[in-house]
Structure 1
Amino acid sequence: MSDLSAFSLAGKRIAVTGANTGIGQGIAVAIARAGGSVIGIGRSSMAETARFVEAEGAGFSEAMADIADSKATIALLETLMAAAPLDGLVNNAGIIRRADAVDFTEDDWDAVMDVNLRSLFFLCQAYGRACLAQGRPGRIVNIASLLSFQGGIRVASYTASKHGVLGITRLLANEWAAKGVNVNVIAPGYIETNNTEALRNDPDRSRSILERIPAGRWGVPDDIGDAAVFLLARASNYMHGAVLPVDGGWLAR
């Protein structure tokens, strides 16, 4: 038995997609606090995240790729895994497009599904395939949403993609749990990020959301980061296909 805490990521190397801001940045910093090193995968500069991670005494490296281009991103992930063992993968990158269902375009549908579901699945596939081939344990943490359970308003492709993330997580857990690869998912509630800025800037929508959250506040990226650490660490060894809502009590209301 290791002398390290069951929640420690010391010596672990974790890849996080979309680590430049918001939830991805919160996850990267939480991994650093737990002792892990972080590889940020995305198309935007992650210089700010690098500073935050390095301030925690952990290593950070930036791997540039457009997550919407699944083939290029998978090739990058395979290169990273060939260079050194990768102990975990957090599929956080996601986008959202808002329009009434009657006005929703095929372009907005495809853009969201390509990032939120298509690339997520094939990144999981590439990572899991490498772990199984090498006989190594692995951890995948996918980021879903409250809209994995609910319909939402004006976000057709986002809702469809996040329902899909939950289903794919469970499917992969069924296939890989006995082979040493843990696949679980976090369902964030309403978190202060770029994706929710429009909602927070709408006084009526923001008020109605806060009135339903038992905790009485919007979440912050650290709330999701700490949950991700748990699912990446030894503490969650017997968790497979689990969905962890981090929502201030929203689903309990």
Structure 2
Amino acid sequence: MDLPKSPGFDLSGKRALVAGASSGIGLACAVALAEHGAAVTLAARSGDILRDIVQEMTARGWRAEALELDISNVAVTKAAVAEHGPFDILVNSAGLARHGPAMKTEEGDFDVVANLNVKGAYFLTQAVAKGLIEAGRPGSLINISSQMAHVGGIDRAVYCATKHAVEGFTKAMAIEWGKAGIRVNTICPTFILTPLTQSTFDNPERAAWIMDKIKLSRPGNVEDVMGAVVFLASESAALITGSSLMIDGGWTAD
């Protein structure tokens, strides 16, 4: 009897680009991919921080390099991807938020958030896909979205708008590029405890709201995302595209 064999999670021979890799979820994703054999290019605006991270990663025997890049600059992003690619794997974790009541949203704040979270993410994904198509190679493109791409949230109208947009273009790109063997998906975490989110958890009212919504009664950690990104990048997810992988502790189960 021939038994089925798991495709596994080995990423040896793959090249990965991780944007927003200087901290938090992006850094965790870069480490996870490198641990599983991928050669990882870490991209972010903080060049000095990236170089320190790369030094630490290569000291552990992983393959990593730094690329100073602001993905909100579309022309520079396209040129950088064309020069350093093609990349078999993309993880876009670059993003920002400016929270506040919808009635008090300023146009400038909206533009800054949308320019990075939507426009930058869109054209980064496009650029990596273009390199793969020109090289005749398949690939896995992953945008770090949010549970807020599927629900609403207090003081998060702008952030929710941008993440809902990411879900939309991800599905459309998955449809367009499927025949080229390019998979496009999102990962949607709940609140992840990082230095950037610590102030939210320090607010008793916000912390209570979060804990009430997360059915597992704990915030997320960056480690909770690491296995998911390896899975979507690997052949174990070969038939998954146009999907959203929820890592939300049951927040959206209601």
Alignment of 1:186-201 (within 5 A): 186-201=187-202
Structure 2: how far apart are the matches of 1:131 and 1:238?
A: 18
Are 1:218 and 2:222 counterparts?
A: no
- The ranges of structure 1 where at least 4 consecutive aligned residues each deviate by more than 2 angstroms after the TM superposition are 47-57, 193-198
Mapped partners of 2:253, 2:82: distance in 1: 40
Q: What are the equivalent positions in structure 2 for 1:1-253 lying under 5 Å apart? A: 6-44=8-46, 45-54=49-58, 56-81=60-85, 85-253=86-254
The alpha-carbon deviation at position 48 of structure 1 amounts to 4.8
Contact preservation (8 Å) 2:16, 2:88:
yes
Offset at residue 197 of structure 1 (A) = 2.3
Residues 125-165 of structure 1: CA distance to partner in whole angstroms, max 9, x if unpaired?
11112211221111100111111111212222211110001
- The aligned amino acid for 1:163 is H
Cα deviation per residue 1:69-122 (whole Å; 9 max; x = unaligned)?
1221221111111xxx42111111000001211211111101111111101111
**1:46 counterpart SS class:** helix
Could you tell me how far apart the structure 1 residues matched to 2:109 and 2:101 are?
12
Alpha-carbon displacement from aligned partner over 1:156-177 (angstroms, at most 9, x marks no partner)? 2211110001011100001011
Separation of aligned partners in 2, 1:57 and 1:247: 32
What 5-or-longer segments of structure 2 have no aligned partner?
A: none
Tell me the distance in 1 between the aligned counterparts of 2:195 and 2:157. 19
Q: How far off is 1:244 after superposition?
A: 0.3
Q: Once the two structures are superposed, what CA deviation does each residue of 1:172-208 show, in whole Å capped at 9, x if it has no partner?
A: 0010112110111101111112442221110221122
**Alpha-carbon deviation of 1:123?**
1.1
- Contact persistence 1:28–1:53 (CA under 8 A): no
1:190 aligned counterpart, secondary structure: coil
- Cα distance in 2 between the residues matched to 1:49 and 1:229: 19
CA contact (8 A) 1:95 1:195 kept: no
Of the structure 1 ranges 128-137 and 41-50, higher mean CA displacement relative to structure 2 is found in 41-50
Measured in 2, the distance between the counterparts of 1:66 and 1:16 equals 12
Contact residue 68 and residue 111 of structure 1 kept, 8 A: no
Gapped runs of 5+ residues in structure 1?
none
CA RMSD of aligned residues (A): 1.7
Does the 8 A contact of 2:145 with 2:166 survive in 1?
Answer: yes
What is the aligned residue count?
Answer: 248
Q: Do the aligned residues in 2 keep the contact of 1:29 with 1:56 (CA within 8 Å)?
A: no
Percentage of identical aligned residues: 36
CA–CA distance in structure 2, aligned partners of residues 149 and 55 of structure 1: 40
